[in-house]
Amino acid sequence: MKKTLPTLAFLVVLSGWSSAQERVPLWPEGKTPYALPVDAETGLPSLQLYPTSGKEGHNGAAVVICPGGGYGGLAKDHEGHQPAQWFNGQGVSAFVLHYRLGTQGHHYPTQLADVQRAIRWVRAHAADYGLDPSRIAVMGFSAGGHLASMAATLFEEKAYEPSDAIDEASARPDFAILCYPVISLDRAVTHGGSRKNLLGPEREGDDEWAKKLSSDLNVTERTPPTFLFQTDADTAVPAENAVRFYLALRQKKVPAEMHVYEQGPHGVGLYLADPVLGTWSGHLSDWLRSRFFFAPAQARAAVSGEVLLDGNPVSWGALSFHPEDANLPVTTVRVRRGKFSAKVEEGPVVGKTTLKFEGSIWEETGADEDRVVKLDSLKPGGDPLAVEVTEGGEVLRFEFSSR
């Protein structure tokens, strides 16, 4: 009983905090495009605000989150509120988009208008929330993933007439995060309910409209870097959707990372309780860090040099450069036959960094006792290995000892 009470108290506090989240309308009163009488009842479209300005860890990044629901509902908790809290824990301000739905009589281009306006709203209010307007991501789950993919590919489409100064801001997201997304409206792979609710009864059977709004066919060189998460077991939105988008990104040379897990049903959200599937958000965090999402982009440096272990050239290994600022990317450089090198675009961030080494000299010695060694100092128990990375790209030399 003593262990249960603090947990219950924490849940009560958390519940009280969550209910206080501010919700704001997307447009000024009387200027919402495609408005219907039902909008007054639902309060849509709107943004639920989860700002981190003034809180510990605030880093100036922001994300607009689009919950799923087949364009017929909004999974506002596990695909909205929970991811927003997770991002807050990363120092990122989150804005959950409550967009209008097909079941309420709203069809394309209403949803595209809502997500374009949401991204513009966040960018236009960057100064108010201490945000970097060049570090704004869009995230979507399932049908919300389709909406996020439209934001990433159709940001130049004029989905509505401008209403105020906010609409002068760019609608292009700087990053896209697509979780088990509906991508294609091709009947062979799409989610039927999403297609029906987005296109509406007059266009549902129109394959040309379906093709127009299949996001894999709309990828360009300007589509932002994208992270995709999917499960192979998903039968509601088959993995072919995410795969088609990934291959389209590759064709246009847009940076992308995709994780497909074998197990897991559709609509899992963060799923942190699962020791396997729950790791996807960690991969997302690593990817965002590598793309300078958690901190403004900084200069990198070319590096090269030599690595010895117990007096022998390292046969196969790696050096990882860890900047002092944990929000900056960790850079790992391969060591082969005692040598390593990396060009500027692949090199570590300029500034103070600590190094971690992993490697083997077995190819050099052939000795059974030589195994892979992991060190964060020149010898076991030594002081952490720290260097200053400069833009000069000087040659570095390290002599490690395994004992």
- The whole-number average pLDDT for the span 332-345 is 96
Query: Is the same domain home to 111 and 222?
Result: yes
Q: Where is the domain boundary, 290, 311, 333? A: 290
- State the CB neighbour count (10 A cutoff) for residue 22: 9
- The whole-number average pLDDT for the span 385-392 is 93
Domain region containing 257: 18-290
The number of domains in the chain is 2
- E strand or H helix at 71: none
Confidence of residue 20 (pLDDT cuts 50, 70, 90): low
Query: Is the same domain home to 338 and 231?
Result: no
What pLDDT score does 19 carry? Answer: 41
- pTM (2 decimals)? 0.93
Query: Is the same domain home to 241 and 162?
Result: yes
pLDDT, tens digit, for every residue of 163-178?
999 999 999 999 999 9
What pLDDT score does 13 carry? Answer: 31
Residues 6 or more apart in contact with residue 177 via CB below 8 angstroms:
63, 137, 138, 139, 140, 148, 226, 227, 284
Confidence of residue 310 (pLDDT cuts 50, 70, 90): very high
Query: Is the same domain home to 172 and 314?
Result: no
Residue 150: phi and psi, rounded to 5, are -65, -40
Q: Is residue 206 part of a domain?
A: yes
The pair of structure tokens assigned to 141 is 């789950």
Query: Is the same domain home to 253 and 380?
Result: no
- State the CB neighbour count (10 A cutoff) for residue 143: 32
What pLDDT score does 403 carry? Answer: 85
Instruction: Kindly tell me if the per-residue pLDDT of 289 is higher than 50.
Output: yes
Q: Where is the domain boundary, 259, 290, 321? A: 290
CATH of the domain at 383: 2.60.40
Distances (CA, A) of 209 to 107, 131, 188, 240, 354: 12, 37, 15, 20, 53
Query: Is the same domain home to 246 and 170?
Result: yes
Query: Is the same domain home to 135 and 214?
Result: yes
pLDDT, tens digit, for every residue of 233-280?
999 999 999 999 999 999 999 999 999 999 999 999 999 999 999 999
Q: How much helix, strand and coil, in percent to the nearest 5, is found in the chain?
A: 30, 25, 45
Query: Is the same domain home to 159 and 32?
Result: yes
Reported for 153-160, long-range contacts at CB under 8 A and 24+ positions apart, including other chains, are: 153/215, 153/218, 153/219, 153/220, 153/223, 154/112, 154/218, 155/116, 155/119, 157/109, 157/112, 159/109, 159/112, 159/113, 159/116, 160/33, 160/34, 160/109, 160/113, 160/116, 160/117
Q: Where is the domain boundary, 263, 290, 317? A: 290
Query: Is the same domain home to 237 and 318?
Result: no
Q: Is residue 11 part of a domain?
A: no
What does the DSSP assignment read for 261-273? ESS--S--TT-TT
Confidence of residue 6 (pLDDT cuts 50, 70, 90): very low
Dihedral of alpha carbons 287, 173, 17, 277, sign: negative
What pLDDT score does 394 carry? Answer: 78
Confidence of residue 32 (pLDDT cuts 50, 70, 90): very high
What pLDDT score does 328 carry? Answer: 98
Query: Is the same domain home to 39 and 82?
Result: yes
CATH of the domain at 166: 3.40.50.1820
